[in-house]
């Protein structure tokens, strides 16, 4: 039996994994008591060991034949193909014709090594990862406001004492159910406010006096937040002493929201004035400046996955700062990161503009430090790359990227406008996918490399609250499978990388600690030995003696002057707004049983039985108007394309909105329809809203 953590979301619930009596049987998972999950697991966690024994588990490399089929190969032959083609592409088109796409589920050790492999072995600036699609806008807003981005800058359990929580765009009842325990306190105090265009299970937690559900028009969260700040100002309820002491930019922001009076906000968002006033009252009463016991503002993907996601999160942070919440014990702002290592994944160098330690790759001092750890000249490290959607736009272009490595991501299902991306992937000179199952993206590859997965590997993950956790091997990997650390090391050797890459996770972690030392995300004091001894280590943790930092910002924010910065933001229209031929909004999200692209959870029999297919959730009145009945096949069409799925009639959605989960492949792929327009600051695509037509679809 090994103590480890769930392979899926950023809550990183603690569990034990016990091998079965025979190697082909499913290991047993049991929950462990831990501050985030308190002995709970969701259905995904309970069944997570099934993926270890997936019937189509990849155990041998696959190489596409001249006839176009993926056929089994030896490791040597598969790596020969990669080496030969990369060298040819380099000779014909240069180093920048090769790119890498990583994932927020990779361990810290893998995320670190993938960045190093890309910059040193491949010599290309072009690396980015699927965290760009997850919380990049919140990360950008956090960096701008606080000078540091740590999803939750406080332990999750702190929420238990809150008098009010404003939850904007998060359906944690389905995405991370054990976290709901931390809302029980605020519900009992009547202070839970959920902003969501859908009446999700999380929104339903506000029933019976537990709080308020705010159900705005999709794409108008920012306006709602401006309206709330307007009301706080109008009531003279800002925390003046805190603002003078700890915040810059308040006066400009205060002036900018003067025009967002409640009636105007109601007109633009559909949220009644009375609701806005009630929410403002709840937050004001809970804020420490008014004698409350504390309030939190939290954002999730619903607020963040927009072409103006950074501004929306900034509006949430502005509201929190005006109330004097961030950097105060018992109050704060936080982002509920989604992927298992969504936090660590963005700290160690697989993001286009970053080096380990959450350092800027454009900063000469950062480059010199990391180069010294890597044992290379700083000039060897390429400059910044480009965010994911710009990277994708270069794929298969004549002078663009001709070869792509994909790790820990199933972009054919998870990226917006996915048909265009699939076409580009298929046209590459070389697509290499490392995975443990034949995902939809792997099936397009020229070379598929079978790799280890969670309970087969050692490493660390950094959870939603910035706490570094040990992932431990509990079962042996199948014969024929290798760790990605081995793959990158071997490829680096073949491609004449100037330095060897370590393959032992502990050795990688020790190097990561040195590379991150002195950076914003400082892991220098976080070792396997300390974690194995049971220490709860949150970054920054700059030395072996340092206890870690569960709550950042208590004394100062991370900007040079120690102050947080408020920034003027204003609403912008949805990038793909309603029109005569597309009169409904599509919003996308997750369901309880599935995780991200579903590449793992769609292989778990219990989960497939419970949620076998995608669906189009549509209001009964809208369905009646369109002649659609429960279960009818429905076609959803946008300017990008169409997808089809059975209708599910429900009053949970607005009359002007339909909802689809984004876990399902083929014709049910919701991302065939979503909009690739991106946030100019963070590169976040506008997953959460686009204009569609909906019709009955036969066939």
Question: Among the candidate windows 39-47, 483-491, 573-581, 682-690, which touches ligand SF4 by CB under 6 A?
Answer: 39-47
The verdict on 9 binding ligand SF4 (CB under 6 A) reads yes
Comparing CB distances to ligand SF4, the nearer of 113 and 202 is 202
- The answer to whether the beta carbons of residues 110 and 452 sit under 8 Å apart is no
**Cα separations in angstroms, 156 against 179, 301, 465, 546:** 8, 18, 6, 21
**Cis before 540? omega within 30:** yes
Q: How far is the CB of 62 from ligand SF4 (least distance, A)?
A: 29
Which tokens belong to 10? 């950023």
Q: Which of 155, 178, 349, 416 binds ligand SF4 (CB under 6 A)?
A: 178
Hey, is 202 helix, strand or coil?
A: helix
Q: Which of 41, 135, 210, 475 binds ligand SF4 (CB under 6 A)?
A: 41
The verdict on 604 binding ligand SF4 (CB under 6 A) reads no
Helices and strands per DSSP (H, E), number in the chain: 23, 30
3-state SS, one letter per residue, for 41-99: CCHHHHCHHHHHHCCCCCCCCEEECCCCCEEECCHHHHHHHHHHHHHHHHHHHCHHHEE
CA atoms within 13 A on the CB side of 560: 0
Comparing CB distances to ligand SF4, the nearer of 42 and 307 is 42
Angle at which helix 505-516 crosses helix 364-374, to 10 degrees, equals 150
The verdict on 12 binding ligand SF4 (CB under 6 A) reads yes
Ramachandran region, residue 683 (left: φ > 0; alpha: ψ -120 to 50; beta: rest): left
Q: How far is the CB of 678 from ligand SF4 (least distance, A)?
A: 27
Question: Among the candidate windows 2-10, 87-95, 511-519, 637-645, which touches ligand SF4 by CB under 6 A?
Answer: 2-10
Residues in contact with ligand SF4, total (CB under 6 A)? Answer: 14
Comparing CB distances to ligand SF4, the nearer of 49 and 437 is 49
Q: Which of 26, 29, 44, 300 binds ligand SF4 (CB under 6 A)?
A: 44
Q: How far is the CB of 473 from ligand SF4 (least distance, A)?
A: 18
Comparing CB distances to ligand SF4, the nearer of 30 and 188 is 30
Q: How far is the CB of 5 from ligand SF4 (least distance, A)?
A: 7
Q: Which residues contact 279 (CB under 8 A, 6 or more apart)?
A: 166, 193, 212, 214, 228
Comparing CB distances to ligand SF4, the nearer of 28 and 360 is 28
The verdict on 37 binding ligand SF4 (CB under 6 A) reads yes
Q: Which residue from 382, 371, 377, 493 is spatially nearest to 97, judged by alpha carbons?
A: 382
The verdict on 45 binding ligand SF4 (CB under 6 A) reads yes
Q: Which of 13, 156, 487, 521 binds ligand SF4 (CB under 6 A)?
A: 13
Q: How far is the CB of 185 from ligand SF4 (least distance, A)?
A: 19
Angle at which helix 273-286 crosses helix 262-269, to 10 degrees, equals 120
The verdict on 156 binding ligand SF4 (CB under 6 A) reads no
Q: How far apart are CA 134 and CA 561, in angstroms?
A: 30
What string marks each residue from 538 to 577 as x (binds ligand SF4 by CB under 6 A) or -? ----------------------------------------
Q: How far is the CB of 454 from ligand SF4 (least distance, A)?
A: 10
**Cα separations in angstroms, 383 against 121, 257, 354:** 15, 39, 9
- Residues of this chain that bind ligand SF4 (CB under 6 A): 6, 8-9, 11-13, 37, 41-42, 44-45, 176-178
């Amino acid at each position: 039996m090994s103590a480890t953590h769930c392979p899926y979301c950023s809550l990183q619930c603690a569990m034990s994994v016990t091998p079965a009596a025979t190697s082909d049987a499913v290991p047993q998972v049991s929950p462990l008591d831990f501050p985030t999950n308190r002995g709970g697991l969701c259905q995904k966690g309970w069944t997570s060991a099934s993926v270890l024994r997936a019937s189509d588990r990849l155990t041998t490399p696959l190489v596409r034949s001249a006839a176009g089929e993926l056929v089994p190969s030896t490791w040597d032959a598969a790596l020969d193909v990669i080496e030969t083609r990369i060298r040819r592409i380099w000779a014909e088109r240069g180093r920048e014709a090769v790119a890498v796409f990583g994932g927020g589920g990779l361990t810290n050790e893998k995320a670190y090594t993938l960045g190093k492999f890309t910059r040193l072995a491949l010599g290309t600036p072009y690396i980015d990862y699927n965290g760009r699609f997850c919380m990049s806008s919140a990360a950008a807003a956090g960096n701008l406001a606080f000078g540091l981005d740590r999803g939750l800058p406080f332990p999750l359990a702190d929420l238990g004492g809150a008098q009010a929580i404003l939850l904007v765009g998060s359906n944690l009842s389905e995405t991370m159910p054990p976290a709901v325990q931390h809302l029980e306190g605020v519900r009992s105090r009547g202070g839970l406010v959920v902003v969501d265009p859908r009446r999700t299970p999380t929104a339903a937690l506000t029933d019976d006096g537990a709080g308020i559900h705010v159900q705005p028009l999709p794409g108008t969260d920012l306006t709602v937040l401006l309206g709330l700040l307007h009301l706080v100002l109008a009531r003279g309820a800002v925390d003046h002493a805190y603002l003078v002491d700890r915040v810059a930019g308040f006066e400009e922001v205060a002036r900018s929201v003067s025009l967002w009076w409640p009636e105007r906000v109601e007109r633009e968002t559909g949220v009644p004035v009375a609701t806005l006033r009630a929410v403002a009252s709840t937050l004001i009463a809970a804020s420490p400046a008014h004698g409350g016991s504390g309030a939190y503002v939290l954002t999730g993907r619903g607020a963040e996955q927009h072409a103006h996601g950074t501004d929306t999160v900034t509006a949430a942070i502005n509201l929190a700062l005006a109330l004097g919440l961030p950097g105060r014990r018992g109050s704060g702002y936080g982002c509920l990161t989604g992927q298992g290592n969504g936090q660590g994944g963005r700290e160690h160098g697989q993001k286009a503009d970053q080096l380990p330690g959450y350092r800027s790759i454009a900063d000469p001092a950062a480059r010199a430090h990391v180069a010294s750890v890597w044992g290379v000249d700083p000039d060897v490290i390429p400059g910044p790359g480009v965010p994911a959607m710009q990277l994708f736009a270069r794929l298969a272009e004549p002078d663009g990227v001709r070869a792509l490595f994909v790790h820990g991501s199933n972009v054919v299902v998870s990226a917006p406008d996915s048909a265009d991306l699939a076409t580009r992937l298929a046209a590459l000179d070389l697509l290499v996918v490392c995975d443990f199952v034949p995902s939809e993206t792997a099936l397009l590859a020229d070379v598929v490399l079978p790799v280890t997965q969670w309970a087969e590997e050692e490493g660390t993950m950094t959870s939603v609250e910035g706490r570094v956790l040990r992932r431990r091997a509990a079962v042996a990997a199948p014969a024929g499978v290798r760790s990605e650390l081995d793959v990158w090391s071997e490829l680096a050797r073949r491609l004449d990388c100037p330095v060897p890459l370590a393959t032992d996770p502990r050795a990688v972690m020790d190097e990561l600690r040195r590379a991150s030392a002195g950076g914003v995300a400082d892991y220098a004091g976080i070792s396997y030995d300390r974690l194995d001894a049971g220490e709860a280590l949150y970054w920054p943790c700059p030395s072996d003696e340092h206890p870690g930092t569960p709550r950042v910002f208590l004394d100062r924010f991370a900007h040079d002057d120690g102050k947080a910065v408020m920034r003027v933001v204003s609403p912008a229209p949805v990038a793909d707004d309603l029109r005569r031929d597309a009169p409904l909004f599509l919003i996308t999200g997750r369901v309880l049983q599935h995780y991200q692209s579903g590449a793992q959870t769609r292989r778990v029999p219990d989960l497939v039985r419970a949620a076998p297919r995608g669906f189009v959730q549509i209001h009964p009145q809208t369905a009646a108007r369109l002649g659609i009945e429960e279960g009818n096949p429905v076609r959803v069409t946008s300017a990008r394309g169409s997808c089809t799925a059975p209708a599910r009639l429900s009053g949970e959605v607005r009359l002007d909105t339909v909802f689809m989960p984004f876990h399902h492949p083929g014709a049910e792929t919701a991302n065939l329809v979503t909009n690739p327009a991106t946030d100019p600051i963070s590169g976040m695509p506008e997953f959460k809203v686009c204009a569609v037509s909906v019709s009955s679809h036969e066939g």
